[in-house]
Structure 1
Amino acid sequence: MRAVKTVISAAGNLKRENPDMNELICLRAIQDVNVPKFLQDDLKLFNGIVSDLFPTIKEKPIDYGTLEESIRNVCAKKNLKDVDGYITKCIQLYETTVVRHGLMLVGPSGSGKTKVSVLQVSVTYVLNPKSITMGQLYGEFDLLTHEWTDGILSSLIRGGAASMDEEKKWYMFDGPVDAVWIENMNTVLDDNKKLCLSSGEIIKLRDVQDLAVASPATVSRCGMVYLESSILGLTPFTECWLKKVPEPLKPYSEQLNVLFTRFLQVNGKTA
């Protein structure tokens, strides 16, 4: 039901933006919600199913205009290679935020998860939930004094909820998903957007790598964006690194690039 609701929400947004659009709205909504979480091999099967469901519709390339231009400009400022597949993932992340307030960036190391997430310009709080206890994360009672001590996340969300500005706040858990801490986030990720603490307090949010241990209840609440290392490959990493090498090494940049290509690239693939 959450998946159906998300597709309907996406279709509603598209209809409001394009009142004269026909059944293409349904197709666009299904694609916007599902394509970001598919692997390259899955996309072939998905496109085959979609072509059977909508045989008469011919899609036109979507022009993201200012959004794509802005992403490429930010890439240039941050010394990142604006690979087309990477830009597509950035756009997919944006589209997912339109219909979901809880997101998961999934994929192997080197696929660009961190850099995709930093392209958003807003207030971001980054923490590793596996580096602290559940009490330090969400808050806990002292067993001796029965006094409540706030956790890091509860303090951050309380401050964000009380903030009067309209700037979007991002609470980023940068680390592996754990069955313990993620289950406590279910009420936040749900449509009611409430963090329920063991003290009995409920904080309402303002309206503005590996998932093996995450339950279907959690995954269904999140918008998923999957990044594959094949999208980037090795070349963007070497090109960006060579631009920032120390001054004494710059005369040898071309030689270093040749060595990277010779020893780390095999038939166009990373060794």
Structure 2
Amino acid sequence: MRAVKTVISAAGNLKRENLDMNELICLRAIQDVNVPKFLQDDLKLFKGINLKDVNDDCIVLIAAYISKCIQLYETTVVRHGLMLVGPAGSGKTKVSLLHVAVIQIYVLNPKSITMGQLYGEYDLLTHEWTDGILSSLIRGGAASMDKETKWYMFDGPVDAVWIENMNTVLDDNKKLCLSSGEIIKLTDVQDLAVASPATVSRCGMVYLEPSILGLTPFTECWLKQIPKILNPYAENKGGHRVARQ
């Protein structure tokens, strides 16, 4: 039901922006909601066509990554909770940081601290409440007077111990029980093996495969950081500049 509701919400947004669109709105809404979470092999079945062979693989891979960036934005339009899923090196952190120019991101690793340090805890001896990192950030964001969008990004593996407490935030009421109700915007994970269906169904999802980037962007980025004095010692191999030992 949550998936159907998301499609209907996306279709409503599209209709308000494009009053002339009719039947195509439903198709576009279904595509916007579902395509970001599909693997490349799934996309072939979803679109019903075979991907064309392209000579320059680098352009295809970069274009696919840009597409993921767009999918991230489109998913945030219809979902206030989002999961970026993919193995290490697939570009999850970078795709989120591309939005830094227009939003404010708070990054924390939930697996590096205790539950009390994350959400806050009540001291039975002093009878005082101490805010955790997350509750403190949310409280500050709720009190902020600016209109800048704020994302709270959990950069680390999903664990049922801490993620289950986020269900009320990811639900339609958008309320974290121990704070003021600020929206939690972004969750970054490698897989959802230990997340419950209840948590997954409350989130939008964008899956990033390592094959989208490949090794070429990492190599080119590293080569650009090499001092110019070493340029004479570089040679061109297979269309890529490689530093010689």
In the superposition, the TM-score normalised over structure 1's length comes to 0.78
Question: Is the 2:83–2:203 contact (alpha carbons within 8 Å) kept by the matching residues of 1?
Answer: yes
- Match of 2:193? 212
State percent identity of aligned pairs.
83
Residue number among 226, 238, 254 corresponding to 2:219 in the alignment: 238
The 1:179–1:207 alpha-carbon spacing in structure 2 relative to 1, beyond 3 Å, is: closer
1:199-234 deviation line (CA, Å, top 9, x unaligned): xxx422269911101111111111100001111111
Residue number among 157, 160, 164 corresponding to 1:176 in the alignment: 157
1:50-75 deviation line (CA, Å, top 9, x unaligned): x9xxxxxxxxxxxxxxxxxxxxxxxx
Please say which of residues 207-216 and 227-236 is displaced more in the overlay: 207-216
Distance 2:37 2:235 in 1: 37
Residue number among 212, 221, 225 corresponding to 2:202 in the alignment: 221
Distance 2:230 2:109 in 1: 35
- Match of 1:134? 115
Distance 2:129 2:80 in 1: 28
1:222-258 deviation line (CA, Å, top 9, x unaligned): 1100001111111111111101113443323335846
Report deviation, 1:22: 1.4
Question: Is the 1:242–1:253 contact (alpha carbons within 8 Å) kept by the matching residues of 2?
Answer: no
Gaps of 5+ in 2: 50-60
Whichever residue aligns with residue 111 of structure 1, its letter is S
- Give 3-state SS (helix, strand or coil) of 1:94's partner: helix
Distance 2:193 2:174 in 1: 24
Please say which of residues 92-101 and 240-249 is displaced more in the overlay: 240-249
Distance 1:251 1:111 in 2: 32
Distance 1:10 1:106 in 2: 21
Distance 1:253 1:176 in 2: 39
Matched positions, count: 225
Residue number among 108, 125, 130 corresponding to 1:149 in the alignment: 130
Q: Aligned ranges for residues 2-13 of structure 1 at < 5 Å?
A: 2-13=2-13
- Give 3-state SS (helix, strand or coil) of 1:108's partner: coil
